[in-house]
DNA sequence: GTCTATAGAGTGATAGAC
DNA sequence: GTCTATCACTCTATAGAC
């Protein structure tokens, strides 16, 4: 039997492709394979609740797979940073998939989901700052790192070339690792 | 009497705030002060033509105020770069306004306006590459610069703090200028 | 008469909610 | 599937400039 959480990955794909406003219930119904009745059974508050569920599930994935590992003291800071870039590249399909939080930050969606968006970026920068404590400017570099990844996703998407993402994130990673050796 | 181009700045504000899908004719009519009759008189193909007009006007502004000055050989490369950061900060309200091309790149709008989005970023990177010819990696740094500005706009918006933009673009500018002195 | 600008009632289609 | 609201858009009407 289908459960609510099973439909969240499909919902994520729809919101990534169409945005919040562009994702009609007809499109959602088609991509999830669920009728409107089922959708309102799982998400009584409608589309807004669907998007919240997506944001929460993606946010939870980043927490366990990206943010928490950045604070594990038994792993060297350089290895933590390298692992972060690997996990992030995997999640964003090396530039082929956008960041929902970034897209929602730029779009009209920010009005509805601003708190979740802010929480995601705060958590990322905070975790990165911990891993970069061995540098001379942990908070500044963490902010720069998160921002650069978002920029790489924008540019990669704009130029329709995932190599742009790979190139930019590789440069960033190397620059951070160099700063950690000081 | 009103002319078509007078309404474009108001249209730009609407699309920036609501996105393409979120900007209904009712909202557009309200913010421009024009009835539907006037809007369809100026833009016979409707919303799509309105957005194209906005993109074209913003693109033209960047061409004359940002891209072309980057190629003026009578000005030193360092001064050209500094002037670019000033003009860009002015246009983006130091992080308070988003980049329409960046937002359209991440959103559903890319399907309709992808060519214009790609042209904007190509032109920017190309012009910057010229100004950075005195460095060891003009094209790479140009790509990195444009991407970082976009990332700064995303993060600034996400955290609702324009100081994030000011801080990140200042760091980037200084880093570029340092690379030019080599 | 012709052209551009304006206003807004009215169209069918489709939206989200239930 | 049914509901109502709203969507993008069309059309008619009217105004003044030439």
Q: What does the pLDDT look like over A90-139, one tens digit per residue?
A: 999 999 999 999 999 999 999 999 999 999 999 999 999 999 999 999 99
Let me know: does A117 contact A62? Beta carbons within 8 Å: no
User: How close B164 comes to chain A (CA, Å)?
Assistant: 8
Look at residue A5 and tell me whether its pLDDT is greater than 90: no
Distance CA B116, CA B182 (A): 36
Is residue A57 one of the residues assigned to a domain?
A: yes
Distance CA A98, CA A139 (A): 25
- Closest by Cβ to B157, choosing from A19, A106, A155: A106
Best CA proximity match to B109, nearest among B9, B12, B15, B179 = B15
Q: Nearest CA to the C1' of D8 belongs to which residue?
A: B25
Q: pTM for this structure?
A: 0.95
Tally Cβ neighbours within 10 Å of residue B30.
12
Q: Is B170 on the interface with A (CB under 8 A)?
A: no
Best B98, B147, B162 residue to mutate vs chain A (most A CBs within 10 Å): B147
pLDDT interval class at B182 (50, 70, 90): low
Which pLDDT score, from 0 to 100, does residue B67 have? Answer: 98
Tell if B46 CB is < 7 Å from nucleic strand D.
yes
Let me know: does B157 contact A105? Beta carbons within 8 Å: yes
Best CA proximity match to B159, nearest among A106, A68, A49 = A106
Interchain CB distance below 8 Å, A143 and B168 = yes
Q: Is B139 on the interface with A (CB under 8 A)?
A: no
Question: pLDDT averaged over chain B?
Answer: 95
For B125, the token pair is: 């990177």
User: How close A158 comes to chain B (CA, Å)?
Assistant: 5
Measured in angstroms, what separates residue B37's CA from nucleotide C10's C1'? 13
Is residue A38 one of the residues assigned to a domain?
A: no
DSSP string, B45-88: TTHHHHHHHHHHHHHHHHIIIIIGGGG-TTS-HHHHHHHHHHHH
Q: Nearest CA to the C1' of C16 belongs to which residue?
A: A25
Question: pLDDT averaged over chain A?
Answer: 95
Distance CA A118, CA B18 (A): 19
Whole-number Cα distances in Å, A120 to A102, A113, A160, B75, B134: 10, 11, 26, 43, 39
Q: Is A139 on the interface with B (CB under 8 A)?
A: no
Is residue B38 one of the residues assigned to a domain?
A: no
Which pLDDT score, from 0 to 100, does residue B156 have? Answer: 98
Is residue B8 one of the residues assigned to a domain?
A: no
Domain with A127 in it: 47-180
CATH number, domain containing residue B168? 1.10.357.10
Best CA proximity match to A98, nearest among A171, A17, A31 = A17
Best CA proximity match to B96, nearest among B163, B51, B182 = B163
Q: Which chain B residues are within 8 Å of A120, Cβ to Cβ? A: 158
B3-24 confidence digits (pLDDT tens):
788 899 999 999 999 999 999 9
Look at residue A1 and tell me whether its pLDDT is greater than 70: no
Is residue B28 one of the residues assigned to a domain?
A: no
What domain count does chain A have?
A: 1
Is residue B43 one of the residues assigned to a domain?
A: no
Which pLDDT score, from 0 to 100, does residue A51 have? Answer: 96
Look at residue A182 and tell me whether its pLDDT is greater than 90: no
C-alpha gyration radius of chain A: 18
Q: What percent of chain A has pLDDT above 90?
A: 90
């Amino acid at each position: 039997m289908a459960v609510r959480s099973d439909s969240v990955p499909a919902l994520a794909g729809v919101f990534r492709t169409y945005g919040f406003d562009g994702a009609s219930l007809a499109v959602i119904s088609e991509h999830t394979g669920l009728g409107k009745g089922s959708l309102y059974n799982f998400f009584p508050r409608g589309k807004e609740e669907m998007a919240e569920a997506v944001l929460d599930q993606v946010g939870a994935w980043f927490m366990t797979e990206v943010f928490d590992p950045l604070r594990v003291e038994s792993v060297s800071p350089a290895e933590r940073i390298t692992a972060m870039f690997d996990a992030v590249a995997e999640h964003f399909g090396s530039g082929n998939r956008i960041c929902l939080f970034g897209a929602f930050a730029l779009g009209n969606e920010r009005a509805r989901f601003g708190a979740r968006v802010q929480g995601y970026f705060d958590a990322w920068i905070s975790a990165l700052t911990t891993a970069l404590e061995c540098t001379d400017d942990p908070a500044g570099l963490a902010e720069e790192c998160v921002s650069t990844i978002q920029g790489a996703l924008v540019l990669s998407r704009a130029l329709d070339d995932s190599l742009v993402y790979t190139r930019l994130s590789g440069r960033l990673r190397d620059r951070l690792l160099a700063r950690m050796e000081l």
